[in-house]
Amino acid sequence: MATEYDPRIGDWYKNVHGDTFEIVAIDRDDGTLEIQYFDGTIEELELDTWQELSVEPAEPPEDWSGSLDIDREDYGVDLDQCAGSALWANPLDRIDYED
């Protein structure tokens, strides 16, 4: 079954094998697109091949670490406890307040 979805950068899909991937680049001049699987593997496809794939839209994974090849324990902090804390602060947010 051919896909009815037009590829858009940032959209996530699931193939017939259950693998999720994101569209990360489209080159309409070349007629290609690049997809990145959760584990970080990048694959280039012809746009014609995309039209023949059997895919369905998918939600992005909640755990963003798949492509980084690290385990949750390797983060060095408990991400669940530090959400909203100073660890996540952007130093540029306070640039106007510094002398």
> Per residue of the chain (99 residues), what is the pLDDT tens digit?
577 899 999 999 999 999 999 999 999 999 999 999 988 899 999 999 999 999 999 998 876 665 555 555 655 555 555 555 555 566 676 666 655
Give how many domains the chain has, as a whole number.
Answer: 1
pTM: 0.64
Determine the residue type at 34. E
Alpha-carbon gap, residue 88 to 79, rounded angstroms: 10
- What is the CB neighbour count within 10 angstroms for residue 50? 21
In the prediction, which pLDDT does 62 show? 79
Residue 5 lies in a domain: no
CA distances from residue 12 to 7, 9, 97 in whole angstroms, order as listed: 9, 9, 39
Residue 35 lies in a domain: yes
Residue 3 lies in a domain: no
Alpha-carbon gap, residue 92 to 80, rounded angstroms: 24
Residue 76 lies in a domain: yes
Residue 27 lies in a domain: yes
Task: Provide the residue range defining the domain that includes 48.
Answer: 12-97
Residue 1 lies in a domain: no
Strands (E) located in the chain = 12-15, 20-27, 32-37, 42-46, 55-57
Residue 49 lies in a domain: yes
Residue 24 lies in a domain: yes
